Chain A
Amino acid sequence: MANQYSEVIANGLWKNNPALVQILGLCPLLAVTGTVVNALGLGLATTLVLVGSNTSVSLIRNLVPPTVRLPAFVMIIASFVTCAELLMQAFTYELYQILGIFIPLIVTNCSILGRADAFAAKNPVIPSALDGLMMGLGFSIVLILLGTMREIIGQGTLFSGMELLFGASASSWKMVLFQDYPNFLFAVLPPGAFFGLGLLIAAKNIIDSSIKNREKRAVVAKVATGSKRVRTTGSIS
């Protein structure tokens, strides 16, 4: 059982990361990652929806006939998105206004419907909730990384506008990394997001291949002590 959970965690955060491997949910990913706070806000909302929808779908998985499952799932997701939208309106109104259309658009994020259909509809409640949480976290981490990159390169600041999410005391979190930084508009505009995401995917692939290489080398080097050399003649095909 514990093995299954660690598998779910590894899938969500790394192996099957919604943004880096499945390349799903690109629309919000590319549109709102101009700053860390935007990325964090959208990441939180998406995670909330994912956990909620995965849990509910898993609860009703034996009651819904397969033929109408997708409309039912979409209705559930839409309800949770509405919840997230209302929550953001209530507590972080300015951020809600900045993120604008991308909050209601979470309902069309393919990774949410994908997880509902591919995982939650086939698994019990607790693994499904965990899967939702991990997929959401994996998505949020990529969002925040991209937001960090674009904010540093685009504006030369970090954590600007955090007061929108964490209250007035957070306005002092803003770090100005470079004085008199001329805004690098390419990173602020959508092309920079495509570019940044491409670099992140490349970085993940490099890490994966170096891990694989190391494993391969470890297998080759593993020779039990005391084993004898074998001489072969002729050709090995």
Chain B
Amino acid sequence: MTLLRITSPHTQGAQRTANVMRTVILATLPGLGVITYFFGWGTFINVIWCSICAVAFESLVLGLRHQPVGFFLKDYSALVTAVLLGLSLPPLAPWWVSLVAIGFAIVVAKHLYGGMGYNPFNPAMVGFALVLVSFPLEMTTNWATPSPLLQDPLTFTQTLSTIFGTPSVAVDAYTMATPLDVYKHEISHNTAVVVTAKPVFGNFVALGWEWVNAAFLLSGVFLIWKRIFTWHTPVSMLVALTVMSIVFGWDADRYTPPLLHLYAGATMLGAFFIATDPVTSAVSNRGKLFYGAGIGILVYIIRTWGSYPDAIAFSVLLMNFAAPFIDFYTQPRAYGHAKAGRSESEG
């Protein structure tokens, strides 16, 4: 009888990279659908355009790096970056903003750092932060007005022409400030009742955004159930954000209330789809709790006392910086070894 010597791991999960990435992409579709319903075709076009560019950039860089193009394209990781970036960008952002963002995300944030699995920072968020810093005008004035507030929303071709060059209509008529932005600026000289009576807040929390966030929350729970990622990061992030907004923002006449923090902006997309990136987050479960809580706290700090209305990108990037540090201090104890800091004789 021949005994084969095989080293561990002896079991292989069914979770190949391509499967994971495909499931994540599929899970964003309900959210994308809701966004398209409430905010028009802009985000849909952004996602498609980002995906086309991402595949082009990925093939180009893989070719330059003498790596098998087909093999790496088939793991869908570039597409996930593209979809997440497309979902984050303002719906009516011009085409070149998306192009610069996805180009920087794929070429610099992913491949210059060594490619799939080696990037210390979330590529989609690097691209987003780059264009947010570089083109503040385009990134803040192109948020679409929710369709229920419009007489006749932009058609698909009108949206297409708005994004790619010559707008056939005045874009300003189809954009407005996001709820987080409105609340932050109006609350300094109004009471909460007056502010939330504005049409952008709708009947529940924030018109359109509440359903977008609910869709991403549901998909996120689905992904946890499918064991694509564990619950630690999103739950600790949402808990931290809620605690912060209750502790500091209990007075709705002065600060954004907790529900608006949770159900407006990119909170749920960030918690379930962006913060959970396995490459750039902390590794151990205990580490993920710290990592997620850090993101939640930073989101609250930047949204409340910073100059940006939403803060997912910067918070995630800052915690990406901290992830190796968190890993260093939250290394799980290996079976048979003493706890860190305890000598052998005690254990």
Please give the residue numbers on chain A whose beta carbons come within 8 Å of chain B beta carbons, in ascending order: 182-187, 189, 191
Contact = CB atoms under 8 A, between A and B. Distances in A.
B308 to A, nearest CB: 15
B138 A186 contact: no
A182 B97 CA distance: 10
B133 A182 contact: no
Interface of B: 100, 130, 133-138
A189 B133 contact: yes
A182 B136 contact: no
A185 B100 CA distance: 12
Contacts of B135: 182, 184-185
A200 to B, nearest CB: 14
What are the 10 closest A-B residue pairs judged by CB atoms, nearest first? Answer: A186-B134, A185-B134, A184-B134, A186-B130, A186-B133, A182-B135, A185-B133, A182-B138, A189-B133, A185-B135
Contacts of B136: 185
A184 to B, nearest CB: 5
B210 to A, nearest CB: 33
Given A182-B138, A184-B100, A186-B130, 11 more contacts: A182-B137, A183-B134, A184-B134, A184-B135, A185-B133, A185-B134, A185-B135, A185-B136, A186-B133, A186-B134, A187-B134
Contacts of A183: 134
Contacts of B138: 182
Contacts of B133: 185-186, 189, 191
B335 to A, nearest CB: 43
Contacts of B100: 184
Nearest to B100: A184
A183 B136 CA distance: 10
Contacts of A191: 133
Nearest to A188: B134
Contacts of A187: 134
A183 B135 CA distance: 7
A187 B136 CA distance: 14
B233 to A, nearest CB: 27
Nearest to A198: B112
Contacts of A184: 100, 134-135
B157 to A, nearest CB: 24
B164 to A, nearest CB: 16
Nearest to B135: A182
Nearest to A187: B134
Contacts of A189: 133
Contacts of B137: 182
Counting chain A CB atoms within 10 Å of each CB, the highest count among B133, B134, B135 belongs to B134
A136 to B, nearest CB: 31
